[in-house]
Amino acid sequence: MNTVLDTVVIGGGAMGSAAAWALSRRGRQVTLVEQFGPGHKIGASHGATRNLNPGYHQPDYVAMLAEGLALWDELEQDSGVQLLARTGVVAHGPGGDLPKVAEALTEAGIRAEFLDPAEAGGRWRGIRFDQQVLHMPDGGQLNPEAALPAFQRLASARGAEIRHHTKVVDFEVFDDGVRLGLESAAGTEVVTAAQAVVTAGGWTEKLLARVAGTGAAALRIPKLRVTQEQPAHFRVADPGAVWPGFNHYPGPDYQGWYSPVYGMQTPGEGIKAGWHGVGPVVDPDHRDFLPEPTQLAALQEYARQWLPGVDPDSFEAISCTYTTTPDEDFILDRVGPVVIGAGFSGHGFKFTPVVGRILADLATGTRPAPSIFRASR
């Protein structure tokens, strides 16, 4: 059986779900295929909290922030589900280009204010501050466990077909479209589509490596690095403390490597904290989901020094993947009939509805993505 479709979105995580939502809003026929089931914990889009951290000064990202804040509000209204808890986000420490961030956000109409460490410590006693503190009240925590079903539900209501447990096993690219072999419990099916949107997260390189056909040679993207990241939920030791989202830039000599630390309160689970992008490289199909002992011990020591509101010896380790490009900028581009969205991990979730809009723009030929996201860079 050969089914003819308009647009197939491959990968039903955050960005694929948002692409299906954005395309369906434009009246396009869209089919979303996802190899795993709803709410799976194998990739990067699970869990109940992600920081919406406004701490950017690069113009393209600041513009996406402003658009994203409006789109998250719109999504909440359309879905009837709270997706963003506006707790604010604080950034502190000697790194992070915080003065540039404050200037850029203020110019864009996104609130930002500097506080001295004593004032910040009085507001948020669960965190220790010793240097400049940038408070961004418009930030907060997003809920992936609520957001992904909301995107998919809204897309489905506009006619999108959502197909979980459906794996792409063959992928051919031609000048005028794509041909996909799909495998599910119902068997194998061949579909032809005008275009495909690839949002496969840690599986992107594996998927593109299987591409055949006359257009396959053009599908070149920056090298993607897939790592297993290992944050933890620490038990709250100070029940009276108020917790914003936080990002700490402790400097290049801290713990023997340089990594920012991010964190937030996850209701019912404790204070989530983690290093940024320093986990071991993994194959997403062959992970052990176990914390790396040295990094976990360093994270406990970090909590002991910088998070007086938690018990550093009482925690639950978490496992997720990052998929990053060498420059940590996203890949958002169209190559022939294939639109590619990749390399979002570590700082992409806050931009999910904007990425969906950009992918829909690329799929419909409306406008290109910013040049920093080109696959050929």
Question: Of 92, 135, 248, 272, which residue is the catalytic one?
Answer: 272
49 is catalytic: yes
What's the token pair of residue 45? 């889009």
Question: Of 276, 334, 347, 357, which residue is the catalytic one?
Answer: 276
123 is catalytic: no
Angle at 326 between CA 321 and CA 331, to 5 degrees: 75
Is residue 112 helix, strand or coil? coil
Question: Of 7, 28, 31, 49, which residue is the catalytic one?
Answer: 49
Question: Of 7, 320, 324, 347, which residue is the catalytic one?
Answer: 320
d(CA 377, CA 208): 18
Write the CB contacts of 218 (distance below 8 Å, at least 6 apart in sequence): 335, 336
40 is catalytic: no
Q: What is the DSSP string of 152-178?
A: HHHHHHTT-EEE-S-EEEEEEEETTEE
Question: Of 25, 40, 46, 225, which residue is the catalytic one?
Answer: 46
100 is catalytic: no
**Amino acid, single-letter form, for residue 160:** A
96 neighbors 112 (Cβ within 8 angstroms): no
d(CA 251, CA 255): 10
Q: How far is CA 146 from the centre of its chain?
A: 14
334 neighbors 374 (Cβ within 8 angstroms): no
Q: Which residues are catalytic?
A: 46, 49-50, 272, 276, 320, 350
